[in-house]
Structure 1
Amino acid sequence: MIRNNLMRAITYAANKHRDQVRKVDKTPFIAHPYRVAMLLQEHDCDAEIVIAALLHDTVEDTDCTFEELEHLFGKRVKTYVDYVTELDKHIPWKERKEHSIKSFKSVPYDVKLLIAADKIDNLQSMIDLEMVHGEAMWHNFVGSREEQVWYYQEIFTSITDNLSDEEWHPLFYLFQALLEKFQEGDVSQH
């Protein structure tokens, strides 16, 4: 059953994100949720959080609804996606980000892992793209580089602040290491 849901989620996400591309390098958008899901799978995370990773941008960036996700993948997957879905894009960037930062403080542990994997992939992508395109890549983003540094630092703090030492998952250490690399400044200069 889990394998069937995983296969359905792969197909569903690919169809929903079919015509979308990533900023700057224009790679197919679906590569992002696939990488996030693979990262969670590699760290032996629960199958439903891996499925949620595949679907985590569907409601935010496509015509998918929470009702549709619940019908197709169950309440738990729908709830995981709901936790990580940003407010309406018509709301200003900073306001949306502040809302996410605040709400991520109280999400379940599995959702913190999903958030970490998502941000790890985003940070790695930005670091790689900045090495190729330099400062010019930031013209493709709503938030400036400095605002992105602020946002990722605050997200990291939000999801790790109240964790005990025993709760520090390897994904949190990876997030921390990439964040430090990103904070160093324009990586194309190194």
Structure 2
Amino acid sequence: MIKNADKEIKYLIVADKLDNLLELEKEIELHGPSVWNAFNAGHDKQKWYNQSIAQNMYHGLQDDEIPPFFSMYKEAVNRVFGQ
């Protein structure tokens, strides 16, 4: 999905997922692992999905086209799900 998307679409997807992940991180800090019960696609599927985005979001972009929030997203994925 994201691997071959236009850069503007990649920017929108990653920005949205970063915002979601930062909120999720706060919820995990407050409520612990029980927050995963609120998701239809539990921890393992969320981990796979977010790690897939982090691995494929750079594909096809030049260095000067990569916004700083891409690295913020990758760092958030690593904090929430591990490497």
**TM class by shorter-chain length?**
0.7 to 0.9
1:144 to 39, 42, 56: 42
Cα distance in 1, alignment partners of residues 49 and 25 from structure 2: 15
Give the superposed CA RMSD: 1.7
Please tell me the residue identity of whatever aligns with 1:108.
D
| Structure of greater Rg | 1
Structure 2 counterpart of 1:127: 25
TM-score norm. by structure 1 comes to: 0.41
* Offset from partner CA, 1:56-93 (integer Å, 9 cap, x none): xxxxxxxxxxxxxxxxxxxxxxxxxxxxxxxxxxxxxx
TM-score for both structures, normalised by structure 2:
0.86
Q: CA deviation at 1:136?
A: 1.1
1:108 Cα deviation from its structure 2 partner? 1.3
Alpha-carbon distance in structure 2 between the residues aligned to 1:129 and 1:111: 27
Q: Which amino acid aligns with 2:54?
A: F
Find the aligned partners of 1:161 and 1:108 in 2 and give their Cα distance: 10
Q: Does the 8 Å CA contact 2:51/2:77 hold for their aligned counterparts?
A: yes
Aligned to 2:58: 160
Partner residue of 1:180?
78
Secondary structure of the corresponding residue to residue 4 of structure 2: coil
- Unaligned segments of structure 1, at least 5 residues: 1-102, 186-190
Alpha-carbon separation, structure 1, partners of 2:49 and 2:75? 16
Separation in 1, partners of 2:82, 2:29: 13
Find runs of 4+ consecutive structure 1 residues off by over 3 angstroms.
Answer: none
Question: C-alpha separation between the residues in 2 aligned to 1:141 and 1:118?
Answer: 17
Identity over aligned pairs, percent: 29
Which amino acid in structure 2 is aligned with residue 177 of structure 1? E
